[in-house]
Amino acid sequence: MKVLKFLIIGLILIGIAAGVAGIVLVKQMLQPVNPGSTEVVRFVVPKGQSISRIGERLAEEGLIKHPLVFRGVVRQLGAENKIQAGSFELTAAMTPAELIEAMTQGTDDTWVTLLEGWRREEMAESLAELELPNYDEAEFLELTAGKEGYLFPDTYLVQRSIATEDIVNLLLATFDKKVETDLATQIAASGKPLDEIVTIASLIQREAKGEQQMRLVSGVLWNRIEIGMALNVDATLQYLKGYSQSQQSWWVPPLAVDKEIESPYNTYKYADLPPAPIANPGLDAIKAALNPTDTTYLYYLHDNQGGIHFGETLQQHNANVQRYLR
pLDDT (tens digit, 9 = 90+) per residue, 115-149? 999 999 999 999 999 989 999 999 999 999 999 99
Which secondary-structure segment (H or E) carries 156?
Answer: strand 155-159
% of the chain with per-residue pLDDT over 90: 70
Q: Residue 198 pairs with which residues in a beta bridge?
A: none
Whether the per-residue pLDDT at 34 is higher than 70: the answer is: yes
**pLDDT confidence band for 21 (50 / 70 / 90):** very low
pLDDT, tens digit, for every residue of 160-214?
899 999 999 999 999 999 999 999 999 999 999 999 999 999 999 999 999 999 9
Q: Where are the domains of the chain?
A: 32-107, 109-179, 193-325
pLDDT at res. 107 = 73
Which secondary-structure segment (H or E) carries 90?
Answer: strand 86-90
Q: For the purposes of burial, counting CB atoms within 10 Å of the CB of 280, is it exposed (0-12), middle (13-18) or buried (19 or more)?
A: buried
Residue 314 main-chain phi, psi, to 5 deg: -60, -35
DSSP state of 176: I
Radius of gyration, CA atoms only, the chain: 29
Residue 272 burial (CB count, 10 A): 14
For 209, residues 6+ apart whose C-beta sits below 8 A from its C-beta are 306
CA 31 to chain centre: 37
pTM check: above 0.95 = no
| The one-letter amino acid at 12 | I
Q: How far, in Å, CA of 206 to CA of 114, rounded? A: 15
Q: Residue 41 pairs with which residues in a beta bridge?
A: 90
**pLDDT confidence band for 6 (50 / 70 / 90):** low
Listed range (15-24, 50-59, 229-238, 262-271) with the worst mean pLDDT: 15-24
For 172, residues 6+ apart whose C-beta sits below 8 A from its C-beta are 147, 150, 151, 152
Q: How far, in Å, CA of 47 to CA of 58, rounded? A: 16
Task: Confirm or reject CATH 3.40.50.300 for domain 32-107, answering yes or no.
Answer: no
pLDDT at res. 169 = 98
Q: Residue 244 pairs with which residues in a beta bridge?
A: 249
Whether the per-residue pLDDT at 25 is higher than 70: the answer is: no
DSSP state of 179: I
Listed range (14-18, 48-52, 65-69, 240-244) with the worst mean pLDDT: 14-18
**pLDDT confidence band for 22 (50 / 70 / 90):** very low
> Is pLDDT larger for residue 59 or for residue 18?
59
The dihedral over CA atoms of 24, 29, 31, 32, expressed in degrees to the nearest 10, equals 150
Which string of b and e fits 124-151 if b means at least 16 CB within 10 Å? beebeeeebeebbbebbeebbeebbbbb
